[in-house]
């Protein structure tokens, strides 16, 4: 290779291979794995996949917990599954309505997988899917190519459901939503592992969205405390335990709701309520400075409606 071509190849590496998304499933418990996504925001480098993904092996096939943000990132997830097992991905469980939870569904549906989600996620996915994909295209460019919002083929209606996939028991927990209306946790009683989706964030601050509901979010967190999992795979951040989840998620939501409830009861305007919130105990969490004002304003408005 001549010097010019070598330099060209090096330049290509610098923008693709050297910064390509790497999906890797690490063991959490026997037959249970997790890919830990980037803690930062969506980017071209991480292909919009800044969230955790789960993998459970059964005697009859693999179960994927969340499908990634795009068709192409779903393909990378599938490659990572193949590095762990030769089993096909026969089932996909969506834990909520954020883009990286379900916009990879189309890829796995084309492979023959059954896609499972809570019924409360359906209207959220339908209403926001187009906007989510447009935002990803703006960030990812060609890396979003081939992505088509694809809904589940099996909807869970109950708050508590027990299903068997490949001979393994999966218990699904829903409390009306939290981060998104369809947030659903996946409990594996055999291994005492809980995949929380976006009910739990550690290391980075959670985001309260216009579709979020902080009271129900805390009700969902109470389910976690009742289960007392041995290991928690959060929606974002490292595999963790209950005390860390309480400190980084529950305690922040409690403090935010308590402050905003007092502000609304006093008749404080929203600007004063936002300024008055003491977020110092949570400033060490990634993205805290950027997310706290919006979280505070949306929580104030939620409590005003209660």
Asked if residue 148 belongs to a domain, the reply is: yes
Asked if residue 78 belongs to a domain, the reply is: yes
C-alpha to C-alpha distances, 138 to 54, 123, 143, 189, 204, nearest whole angstrom? 27, 24, 10, 41, 24
pLDDT the model gives residue 13: 36
Asked if residue 191 belongs to a domain, the reply is: yes
CA 124 – CA 103 distance, rounded (Å): 13
CA 167 – CA 182 distance, rounded (Å): 25
Asked if residue 66 belongs to a domain, the reply is: yes
> Tens-digit pLDDT profile for the chain (306 aa)?
433 333 333 333 333 333 478 999 999 999 999 999 999 999 999 999 999 999 999 999 999 999 999 999 999 999 999 999 999 999 999 999 999 999 999 999 999 999 999 999 999 999 999 999 999 999 999 999 999 999 999 999 999 999 999 999 999 999 999 999 999 999 999 999 999 999 999 999 999 999 999 999 999 999 999 999 999 999 999 999 999 999 999 999 999 999 999 999 999 999 999 999 999 999 999 999 999 999 999 999 999 999
Asked if residue 62 belongs to a domain, the reply is: yes
CATH, residue 57: 3.60.15.10
What domain range includes position 212?
A: 21-305
pTM for this structure?
0.92
Asked if residue 161 belongs to a domain, the reply is: yes
Asked if residue 284 belongs to a domain, the reply is: yes
What residue ranges in the chain does DSSP mark as E strands? 26-29, 32-35, 53-58, 61-65, 89-93, 114-118, 154-156, 160-165, 168-173, 185-188, 193-201, 231-236
pLDDT the model gives residue 2: 39
Asked if residue 221 belongs to a domain, the reply is: yes
Number of structural domains (the chain) is 1
């Amino acid at each position: 290779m001549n010097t010019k071509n070598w330099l060209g190849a090096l330049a290509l590496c610098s923008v693709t291979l050297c910064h390509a998304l790497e999906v890797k499933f690490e063991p959490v418990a026997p037959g249970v794995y997790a890919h830990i996504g980037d803690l930062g925001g969506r980017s071209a480098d991480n292909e919009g996949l800044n969230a955790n993904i789960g993998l459970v092996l059964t005697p009859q096939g693999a179960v994927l917990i969340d499908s990634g943000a795009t068709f192409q990132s779903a393909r990378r997830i599938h490659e990572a599954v193949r590095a762990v097992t030769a089993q096909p991905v026969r089932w996909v469980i969506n834990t909520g309505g954020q883009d990286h939870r379900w916009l990879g569904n189309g890829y796995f549906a084309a492979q023959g997988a059954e896609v499972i989600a809570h019924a409360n996620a359906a209207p959220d996915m339908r209403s926001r899917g187009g906007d989510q994909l447009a935002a990803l295209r703006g960030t990812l460019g060609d890396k979003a190519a081939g992505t088509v919002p694809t809904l589940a083929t099996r909807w869970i209606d109950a708050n508590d459901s027990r299903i068997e996939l490949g001979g393994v028991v999966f218990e699904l927990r829903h409390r009306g939503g939290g981060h998104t209306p369809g947030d659903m946790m996946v409990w594996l009683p055999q291994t005492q592992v809980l995949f929380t989706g976006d009910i739990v964030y550690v290391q980075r601050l959670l985001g309260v969205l216009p579709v979020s509901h902080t009271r129900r979010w805390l009700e969902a967190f109470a389910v976690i405390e009742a289960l007392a999992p041995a290991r928690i795979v959060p929606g974002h951040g490292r595999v963790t335990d209950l005390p860390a989840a309480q400190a980084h998620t529950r305690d922040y939501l409690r403090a935010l709701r308590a402050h905003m409830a007092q502000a609304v009861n006093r008749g404080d305007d929203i600007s004063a309520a936002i300024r008055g919130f003491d977020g110092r105990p949570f400033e060490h969490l990634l993205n805290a400075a950027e997310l706290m004002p919006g979280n505070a304003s949306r929580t104030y408005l939620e409590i005003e409606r209660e």
